[in-house]
Chains A and B, each alone.
Chain A
């Protein structure tokens, strides 16, 4: 009984430690003070000025870019990665090993190496950096995760079903659409979600491939902002909203998964 209480207490202390910084930001998103740590009374002014947007057009632009990049990169990664997974699954063992190894490289590489290497690629071939290069870079580090989440579904699939569909007169395309696609869809969906969150979250690869034409994502905006010294106060409500959204989303997904497991 005693160890149980102590174990629980340990977890809660650790959680308090992990969450105290974000809690401070949340609390101080409800006051007007420019400098964090000054409490000038409860106010939701920062929230309204975040949404009114007038002052912070660049922040809204950065948010928009972040989402656009994530949607495009995650969509292309999911398509490219799913096709690749089907291909790799059907390779002989030697080429399959090579593909699996190459696929693992972007996951093993630290972000900064991926960033530097892609930067060198673009400057070596005289590609001007901007939206497209960021999307390409994000596809490069997201696709491996899609391949990895689709692959187990293919392994679990009974390959006879596909053959049966062909025997019953389905064209290979029909068999793909009606047999393989439904089987791998859950893997594709989790691959997409993973790619989307990785893309939204990325800072290191983006900063090396974004160029200097004034394009900003949320990460580079925050970075530039913090380097200037003062932190835009509107980032406090924004961080709060992002945090709460992620929290709710993850708990909902997890509850659903738990329910699905028990059923």
Chain B
């Protein structure tokens, strides 16, 4: 088959619309408005307490959201995947479904809920909204790995005299780690990089790092905005390396279809 030439159109497309744009982020971050090489954009970030605080605050919110999603999501994924509880596939769909509803609609729905319950918008609404938005991204990959897990390993552990807690700690949990890791990446990444939804959930009182990036790009500060994007990219690169899971990519957005 000489079909390898068929790669060419997509290779060109990727070069123009994926690789070049990323190189442009790097180029803009290390230059000033006149195009001269500089580190001023990064210096500005480090010297600017507000940007720095927003950055750290965003990481904090993302960590809290990720942990909460893990604590709430793991048991759910476990119950859904365990044959003993005999849950239907439709139940799984119900958990994944919110992933397919526009994120702004979901966010406005959260605002509506808080209004309805007469709860103030702010940090609490922000964290609730984030968990509400991204919990399915934690449940799905964990559910996937748990479901593919070889059941005989659990039986083997039981036969060898492990009690239920030991079975969980020594067999099920380690085997589900790939799913947990992709879940962490899939929740942490969108939470730390989100913009727009934080303003809606807090009536513009709390700003996240994604908003800072967006505002700078919108106000024509392309170089500074690019530098902030690069910082975010590095943060996410570190997260992916740290969780180091080959499956995190192929699992993403798999949905039910």
A residues whose Cβ falls under 8 Å from a Cβ of B: 4, 7-8, 10-11, 14-15, 17-22, 24-25, 28, 36-37, 80-81, 83-84, 86-92, 95, 99, 102-114, 116-121, 123-124, 136-137, 139-140, 143, 145, 147-148, 159, 162, 190, 193-194, 197-198, 200-201, 203-204, 207-208, 218-219, 222-223, 226-227, 231, 235, 239, 242-243, 246-247, 250-251, 253-255, 257-258
Alpha-carbon distance A243/B189, docked complex (angstroms): 25
Stretch at the interface among B36-44, B152-160, B170-178, B190-198: B190-198
Is the pair A250, B196 in contact by a Cβ cutoff of 8 Å?
A: no
Does B116 have its Cβ within 8 Å of any Cβ on chain A? yes
Is the pair A90, B229 in contact by a Cβ cutoff of 8 Å?
A: no
Does B5 have its Cβ within 8 Å of any Cβ on chain A? yes
Is the pair B236, A110 in contact by a Cβ cutoff of 8 Å?
A: yes
B residues whose Cβ falls under 8 Å from a Cβ of A: 1-11, 13-14, 16-22, 24-25, 28, 72, 75-76, 79-80, 84-85, 87, 89-91, 93-98, 100-106, 108-110, 112-113, 115-116, 132, 135-136, 189-190, 192-196, 199-200, 210, 213-214, 217, 222, 225-226, 229, 232-233, 236, 240, 249-250, 252-253, 255-257
Given A18-B136, A37-B116, A112-B214, list of 9 further CB < 8 A pairs? Answer: A4-B84, A21-B113, A113-B22, A117-B21, A117-B24, A120-B24, A194-B255, A239-B108, A246-B101
Is the pair B17, A118 in contact by a Cβ cutoff of 8 Å?
A: yes
Is the pair B214, A8 in contact by a Cβ cutoff of 8 Å?
A: no
State the Cβ distance, B203 to closest chain A Cβ, in Å.
Answer: 9
Alpha-carbon distance A36/B112, docked complex (angstroms): 7
Is the pair A11, B76 in contact by a Cβ cutoff of 8 Å?
A: yes
Alpha-carbon distance A75/B17, docked complex (angstroms): 18
A99 to chain B: which residues have CB within 8 Å? 7, 10-11, 14
Residue of chain A at shortest CB distance from B214? A112
B17 touches which of A110, A140, A193, A201 (Cβ 8 Å): A140
- Which of A103, A139, A235, A243 has the largest count of B CB atoms less than 10 A from its CB? A243
A246 touches which of B18, B100, B195 (Cβ 8 Å): B100
State the Cβ distance, B255 to closest chain A Cβ, in Å.
Answer: 7
Are A254 and B85 also in contact (CB < 8 A) when A108-B240, A203-B103, A239-B109 are?
A: no
B109 touches which of A21, A86, A190 (Cβ 8 Å): A21
A7 touches which of B85, B89, B136 (Cβ 8 Å): B85
State the Cβ distance, B113 to closest chain A Cβ, in Å.
Answer: 4
Is the pair A104, B249 in contact by a Cβ cutoff of 8 Å?
A: yes
Is the pair A22, B116 in contact by a Cβ cutoff of 8 Å?
A: no
A112 touches which of B24, B95, B105, B213 (Cβ 8 Å): B213
B93 touches which of A10, A92, A190, A250 (Cβ 8 Å): A250
Is the pair A143, B21 in contact by a Cβ cutoff of 8 Å?
A: no
A-B contacts, 26 listed (Cβ < 8 Å): A21-B110, A21-B132, A22-B109, A24-B109, A24-B113, A24-B116, A83-B9, A84-B7, A84-B9, A84-B11, A89-B3, A90-B4, A91-B7, A102-B11, A102-B19, A106-B18, A110-B232, A112-B229, A117-B25, A120-B25, A121-B17, A143-B13, A204-B196, A219-B102, A250-B97, A253-B256
B190 to chain A: which residues have CB within 8 Å? 110-111
- Which of B22, B98, B222, B256 has the largest count of A CB atoms less than 10 A from its CB? B22
